[in-house]
Amino acid sequence: MLWVKAFHILFFTSWFAGLFYLPRIFVNLAMVPAESVAERERLLLMAGKLFRFMTPLGVIAIGLGLWLWFGYGFAGGWLHAKTALVIGLVAYHAWCGMLLAEFREGSSIKGHVWFRFFNEVPVLALAIICILAVVKPF
């Protein structure tokens, strides 16, 4: 089980790197002037590649997490709270995909300030998840 745990940490860390960086690309996309087509296309290319790369990382991280959960058993309210946060992160990931589609279509109406706040969601989630997993407060 220690190998599973090690790979779970590796994959969720990699997934979070994408969850941290993709919304930052959205901040930059929201700030691109309308006449700067090349910059917009470059950022869209980067965002698309990152989204395609981070999606399987998240799937593997969640699969390994489920393996750990079933291997160690269903113990403690902290695990249920962590699971709820992971479900929220899956929704956040899907939302990122929808926002990327809006940018590709040119229909995004949110400004860079909104994306700056949106960018902080996975940071807060990671902090809470780490505290839940290490401290196991309940």
| SS (HEC) of the chain | CHHHHHHHHHHHHHHHHHHHHHHHHHHHHHHCCCCCHHHHHHHHHHHHHHHHHHHHHHHHHHHHHHHHHHHHCCCCHHHHHHHHHHHHHHHHHHHHHHHHHHHHHCCCCCCHHHHHHHCCHHHHHHHHHHHHHHHCCC
> Where are the domains positioned within the chain?
2-135
pLDDT along the chain (138 residues), means of 10: 96 98 98 95 98 98 95 85 97 98 95 98 97 93
Q: What's the predicted TM-score (pTM) here? A: 0.94
